[in-house]
């Protein structure tokens, strides 16, 4: 068992105060001590995916994303739903790693949260399709859709709904277990 597990945390929103970015940070604060997080802040820096640029090394922002994935034991994604799907910037990031292999068999928790009653279910479904395509080890039992997120978190980003907090804590434990199994 690895003493410290490195988790790459990705918010699918570019807004600093988006509910999903706040949720991602709240989840990080709930993590057990054996999980350390690196927040990926490069979504806005990635060029539009172009197979002509997807060469050995690729553009520097793509190299950075791939390196962060390569050095992580697992991944946490929190995404909003835009236009009934995954935000374009997140999909673009995923496109850059479809054929590169850094996400291959990497334990991944996918969370879609929305102020709507549907909880980002279409974004979640779309995200899962792409993650399965890149052969991420999606932890389905730990991946969540969270409806009415603005009622479950305060404006400071604290989770105020005990059931949601409990589900997220269980997701983190599942992620840690899956990462440990991959390292054995």
Gap between the Cα atoms of 100 and 128, Å rounded = 18
Instruction: Quote the pLDDT of residue 175.
Output: 98
Q: 5-183 architecture in CATH?
A: 3-Layer(aba) Sandwich (3.40)
Instruction: Quote the pLDDT of residue 118.
Output: 87
- Residue 15, judged by CB atoms within 10 A of its CB (0-12, 13-18, 19+), counts as exposed
Gap between the Cα atoms of 37 and 74, Å rounded = 10
Beta 107-113 vs 35-40: how paired, if at all? Answer: unpaired
Instruction: Quote the pLDDT of residue 1.
Output: 65
- What's the predicted TM-score (pTM) here? 0.96
* 99-154 pLDDT tens trace: 899 999 999 999 999 999 988 999 999 999 999 999 999 999 999 999 999 999 99
In 3D, which of 79, 83, 156 has the Cα closest to residue 110? Answer: 79
* 88-105 pLDDT tens trace: 999 999 999 998 999 999
65-69: long-range contacts at Cβ-Cβ below 8 A with a sequence spacing of 24 or more?
A: 65/40, 65/93, 65/96, 65/97, 66/96, 66/97, 66/100, 66/102, 68/8, 68/38, 68/40, 69/8, 69/97, 69/102, 69/103, 69/106
DSSP state at residue 44? G
Angle between helices 88-96 and 121-133 (to 10 degrees): 10
156-161: long-range contacts at Cβ-Cβ below 8 A with a sequence spacing of 24 or more?
A: 157/22, 157/23, 157/25, 157/26, 158/26, 159/23, 159/26, 159/30
Instruction: List b or e across 164-173, with b for residues whose CB sees 16 or more CB atoms inside 10 angstroms.
Output: bbeebeebbe
Instruction: Quote the pLDDT of residue 82.
Output: 92
Instruction: Quote the pLDDT of residue 17.
Output: 86
Gap between the Cα atoms of 74 and 182, Å rounded = 10
Please give the average per-residue pLDDT across 4-24, as a whole number.
95
């Amino acid at each position: 068992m690895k003493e410290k597990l490195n988790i790459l945390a990705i918010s699918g929103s570019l807004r600093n105060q988006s509910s999903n970015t706040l949720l991602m940070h709240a989840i990080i604060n709930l993590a057990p001590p054996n999980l350390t997080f690196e927040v990926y802040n490069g979504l806005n820096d990635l060029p539009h995916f172009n197979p002509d640029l997807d060469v050995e090394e690729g553009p520097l922002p793509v190299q950075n994303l791939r390196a962060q994935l390569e050095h992580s034991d697992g991944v946490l994604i929190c995404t909003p739903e835009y236009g009934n799907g995954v935000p374009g910037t997140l999909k673009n990031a995923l496109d850059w790693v479809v054929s590169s292999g850094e996400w291959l068999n990497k334990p991944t928790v996918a969370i879609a949260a929305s102020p709507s009653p549907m909880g980002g279910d279409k974004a979640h479904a779309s995200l899962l399709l792409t993650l399965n395509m890149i052969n991420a080890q999606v932890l389905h039992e730990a991946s969540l859709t969270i409806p009415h997120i603005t009622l479950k978190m305060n404006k400071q980003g604290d989770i105020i709904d005990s059931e949601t907090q409990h589900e997220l804590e269980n997701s983190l434990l599942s992620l840690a277990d899956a990462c440990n199994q991959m390292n054995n």
